[in-house]
Amino acid sequence: MWDIKGKTFLITGGASGLGAQYAKTFLQLGAKKVAILDVAESVGVSFVTSLNETYPGKAVFIKCDVGNEDDIKGAFQKALNDLQRLDVIINNAGIMSDSPDLWRKSCEVNWQGLVSFTMKGVESMRIDEGGAGGTIINIASTAALFKLPTMPVYCGSKLAVIHFSQSLAEPPFFERTGVRILTMCPGPTDTPLLHNLLDRAIDKKYAEEFYAAVPTYTQEVESAVNAVVKMYQEGDCGSIWLSVKNKPAQDITDMFRNFYIELAKVI
């Protein structure tokens, strides 16, 4: 089982929602320090202030637009300077919108920013180049596992997260680098991400009927956070986990491996 105590965390999209709850929970479980990265500066500063009231000196806020490479470079280096050693990255930042004015930004945050933080994390952590190893948790979504016709761009960006993580983690990646890549697919969770979905759909006429079913499948934040903790403690490099309907986290890696095996037969 992988230990949490004494570990340092960098969490993108960490000022609110699931990201904020990840930070609180890992500090409760003994994390040494957390760097909260978010574009929402006032919210982030306020959140980190509250964390430091409970865990003095254990939280730092760094403003970062995860869809901007210059921001990522500066924020990552500042996090390294503040934390001194980086043990865990949680790539949590995300935009759930296929609207005409946001779908491109959604791809930049959900996919390109995640790739950038992952590659910078690997470079910093890898044991074959002087690092101490570590863990990178990439947050995908159940939207990557089924067809969501109201948000095809969002679905595509989250499926890209899964395949990127799987491809990167292919053996002997972990044996060579000491960096563990984990992927979590949370189902709809009771956070602001689910608010105003109609305004963010690619087809509003169809979306109203489609989204009527969403509350039926919504899970509590605590359940989603507990799933990430369990995955961190027990997950093998390259594993994919599922968190839905307030059920215990489930390792679904073998399902994907079987899928790849079947596809390989016809390629």
Mean pLDDT of the chain: 94
d(CA 90, CA 180): 12
Active site residues: 154
Higher pLDDT, 195 or 266: 266
Rounded to two decimals, what is the model's pTM? 0.95
Q: Where are the domains positioned within the chain?
A: 8-265
Q: What pLDDT shows up at residue 193? A: 67
Q: Which of 40, 26, 34, 29 has its CA nearest to residue 58?
A: 34
CATH number for the region 8-265 comes to 3.40.50.720
d(CA 181, CA 173): 9
pLDDT in tens, 172-214: 999 999 999 999 999 888 777 666 776 777 777 667 766 676 6
Amino acid code (one letter) for 117: F
Q: Which of 140, 154, 150, 153 has its CA nearest to residue 187?
A: 140
Structure confidence at residue 67 as a pLDDT band (50, 70, 90) = very high
* Direct distance between the N- and C-terminal alpha carbons of the chain, in angstroms, rounded to an integer: 37
Find the radius of gyration of the CA atoms of the chain: 18
pLDDT in tens, 224-262: 999 999 999 999 999 999 999 999 999 999 999 999 899
Residue with tokens 């399902």: 255
